[in-house]
Amino acid sequence: MRLILVGPPGAGKGTQAVHLAAHYGIPHISTGDIFRHNMKNETELGMLAKSYVDRGELVPDTVTNEMVKDRLSDSDAKKGFLLDGFPRNVAQAELLRKILEKANTPLDAVLELALDDAEIIARLSGRRTCRNCGATFHMIYEKPATEGICDTCKSDLYQRPDDSEEVVKRRLEVYAEQTKPIVSFYQAEGILLTIPAVGDITEITQRAIAALTAAVSR
Phi/psi of residue 109, nearest 5 degrees: -165, 155
The one catalytic residue among 36, 71, 171, 207: 171
What's the chain's Rg over C-alpha atoms?
17
Contact status: 11 vs ligand AMP (CB under 6 A): no
Q: Which of 17, 53, 204, 208 binds ligand AMP (CB under 6 A)?
A: 53
59 forms part of the interface with ligand AMP (CB under 6 A): yes
- Asked if 32 interacts with ligand AMP (CB under 6 A), we say yes
Instruction: Decide: is 157 part of the binding site for ligand AMP (CB under 6 A).
Output: no
Size of the site for ligand AMP (CB under 6 A): 17
Q: How far is CA 71 from CA 84, 86, 168, in A?
A: 13, 12, 27
Please tell me which residue in 71, 123, 160, 207 is annotated as part of the active site. Answer: 160
Q: State whether residue 6 is helix, strand or coil.
A: strand
Task: Give whichever of 122 and 214 is closer to ligand AMP, judged by the CB atom.
Answer: 122
Q: Which of 83, 62, 102, 103 is nearest to 186 (CA)?
A: 83
Query: What is the per-residue binding string for ligand AMP in 84-103, x denoting contact by CB under 6 A?
Result: -xx-x---x-----------
Query: Which residue of the set 88, 123, 128, 207 is catalytic?
Result: 88
Smallest distance, ligand AMP to C-beta of residue 155, A:
18
User: Please, are residues 42 and 147 in contact by the beta-carbon 8 Å criterion?
Assistant: no
Whether residue 172 contacts residue 125, with contact meaning beta carbons closer than 8 Å, is answered with no
Give min distance, CB of 49 to ligand AMP, in A: 7
Q: Please say whether the beta carbons of 35 and 46 come within 8 A.
A: yes
From 29-37, 95-103, 113-121, 133-141, give the range in contact with ligand AMP by CB under 6 A: 29-37
Active-site residue, 170 included:
no
Stretch that binds ligand AMP, among 15-23, 51-59, 141-149, 206-214 (CB under 6 A): 51-59
Question: Is residue 55 annotated as part of the catalytic site, yes or no?
Answer: no
Shortest separation between residue 35's beta carbon and ligand AMP, angstroms? 5
Q: For the chain, where are the alpha helices, taking DSSP H only?
A: 13-24, 31-40, 44-55, 61-72, 90-102, 117-125, 165-174, 180-189, 201-216
Distances (CA, A) of 6 to 90, 114, 145: 13, 9, 29
List, by residue number, the catalytic residues.
Answer: 13, 88, 127, 160, 171
Task: Note the residues at the interface with ligand AMP (CB under 6 A).
Answer: 9, 31-32, 35, 52-53, 56-59, 64, 85-86, 88, 92, 162, 171
